[in-house]
Amino acid sequence: MLAQRENSAYLPGFILPAALTITSDLAEACAGAHMVVMVVPSHVYRAVFCQVKQYVGAGMVVVSATKGIENESLMTMTQIMADEFSLGSYAVLSGPSFAREVAAEKPAAVTAAAYDSKIAATVQEVFFTETFRVYTSTDVIGVELGGPLKNIVAIAAGICDGLGLGTNTRAALITRGLAEITRLAVTMGASPLTMAGLAGLGDLVLTCTGDLSRNRSVGLKLGQGMAIAAIQSEMRMVAEGVKTTKSAWNLSRKMNVDMPILEQVYLVLYEGKTCPEAVHALLHRDQKEETALSMCANHR
C-alpha cells in the first residue's frame, strides 16, 4: 500500500488519498490523534484495544466501526472498551455502508452514537461529506446491536436464496428478522425506534439483499449445499455473522429472548442441521398474532 497507494487485497481499484499516512505501528498511528477508529474483527477487538489504550489520552475519542459481539463475554465493542479502560470516551459508527460503494463516493447514510451527544456530534462532523451523510444518536446499545445481529439474518437470507425460495420468502425473513433483532435490543435497553432506522432496518435490508454482502454470500453457499468449513476456507475477508451467531445465540438464551431465525442459523452453522430442515422448522412453528408488541421485549 505504501508503494502502490492502493489496498489491492481488500479494496482494489481505488487510489488512497495523498493525505492518508499508512503505518503498521500503533504508537505512530495514535500519536497526536484526537480520534481513533477501531475496525478490527470482533474476535480480536479486545486484544488490539488493550494495545491501543496506552495511547488513549485526555479528550481522545475512540470510535468502533466493528459489528460484532464478543463470544466469551457477550459484550459489544464499546462495552469491551469500557471494561478495559473506563476513562475513555467511546462512540460507535454503524449503518448500511458497503466499503466499495463508499470508496466510489456513492451516497450513503450512517449513524454515529455516543452516550454524550457532543461526542456523537464530533464524530458526525469528522465523517460527514457531500456523499456520506451521518446522523447522530445517544442510543449506543441499539446502534451497536443492529450491526452484528443483522449479519445473522443475512446468512438466513442467503440460505433462502441458495435454496431458490424466492423474494416473498426473503421479504418475510427480513421482516421477522427485524422483529427478533428488536426484541433482543429492547431487552438490552435500546429504543425500538433505533431498530427502524439506519443502524437497524437500513443495515438489515442492505446486508440481506446486496451482492457485496459477505454474510449473505455465506448463506447462499450454505443453501447450495456447501459446508461452512469449506466456505470459510475460501474466503479472504471475515464474515462476522458466523462468529456472532454463536455469541448472539448465547446472549438470547441469557436474556430469555425468543429468536427462532437466530436459533435455526445457529443449528445450521454449529450443529449440522441441514438448510431445508431449518426452513421447515421455522414454517411449522406455532401460529402467532403479529402486532407492534411482537417486536418488543418479552413478546414472541
Catalytic residues: 150
105: alpha, beta or left, given left = phi > 0 and alpha = psi -120 to 50? Answer: left
Three-class secondary structure of residue 68 per DSSP: coil
Q: What is the 8-class DSSP label of residue 107?
A: -
Are the C-beta atoms of residues 142 and 201 closer than 8 Å to each other? no
Give the CB-side neighbour count of residue 210, counting CA atoms within 13 A.
Answer: 18
Backbone angles phi, psi at 165, to 5 degrees: -85, -10
Cα–Cα distance between 243 and 43 in angstroms, integer? 8
Where b means 16+ CB within 10 Å and e means fewer, 171-187 reads: eebbebbbbbbbbbbbb
Measured distance CA(237)–CA(89) in Å, rounded? 29
DSSP string, 238-259: --HHHHHHHHHHHHHHHTT---
Grid coordinates standing for 143? 446502534
